[in-house]
Amino acid sequence: MNNFIGTYECKADAKGRVMLPVALKNQLSPVLQHGFVLKRAVFQPCLELYPMEEWNVLMQKMNKLNRFKKKNNDFIRRFTAGVKMVEVDATGRLLVPKDLVAFAGIGKEIVLSSAINIIEIWDKDKYEQAIDDAAVDFAELAEEVMGDEDDEDGIS
């Protein structure tokens, strides 16, 4: 499992190509040769870049869903809508397909943000707005999600 670290501001050109920052490219180097899956995020107006290994783990979980239940089929269809296989080229660029650029409203200024085992790709203004919107409730959310008093890991 990969654990990526960092938030990086960069630029996308008119064709949707993004030059990966060196620090991020170095973190991705062990998985570059396997390629990536790029998809629409479920909860935010951004894209999610999955290393192929992470995507395959997720697909194994989804493959266990009973396809004879309509809601499962509907979920799978919507979850995988617009999914694209992508690669980082020899110069370190990632091509974001036009339909996904449109979905995320990506302009010239973008943010690549680590989200544990995937990378989120945001339009810079939308990213900053999402962070600002979440800041008010973050302490409460952190307590709810991570604040179990019986937690033996001692995460703080």
Q: Give the N- to C-terminal CA distance of the chain in Å, as an integer.
A: 22
User: Residue 17: is its pLDDT beyond 60?
Assistant: yes
Strand-pair category, 93-95 with 17-19: antiparallel
Provide mean pLDDT across the span 135-147.
78
Q: Which residue has the higher pLDDT, 154 or 23?
A: 23
Q: What CA–CA distance (Å, rounded) separates 45 from 130?
A: 9
Question: What are the φ and ψ backbone dihedral angles of 20, each rounded to 5 degrees?
Answer: -70, 135
> How many CA atoms lie less than 13 Å away from 127 in the CB half-sphere?
20
The structure tokens 């089929």 sit at 73
Selected residue with higher pLDDT from 138 and 88: 88
Instruction: Note the CATH number of domain 7-146.
Output: 3.40.1550.20
110-125 residue pLDDT tens = 999 999 999 999 999 9
Question: What's the rounded mean pLDDT across residues 140-148?
Answer: 81
The half-sphere exposure of 124 on its side-chain side, counting CA atoms within 13 A, is 9
The DSSP bridge pattern shows strands 84-86 and 36-40 to be: antiparallel
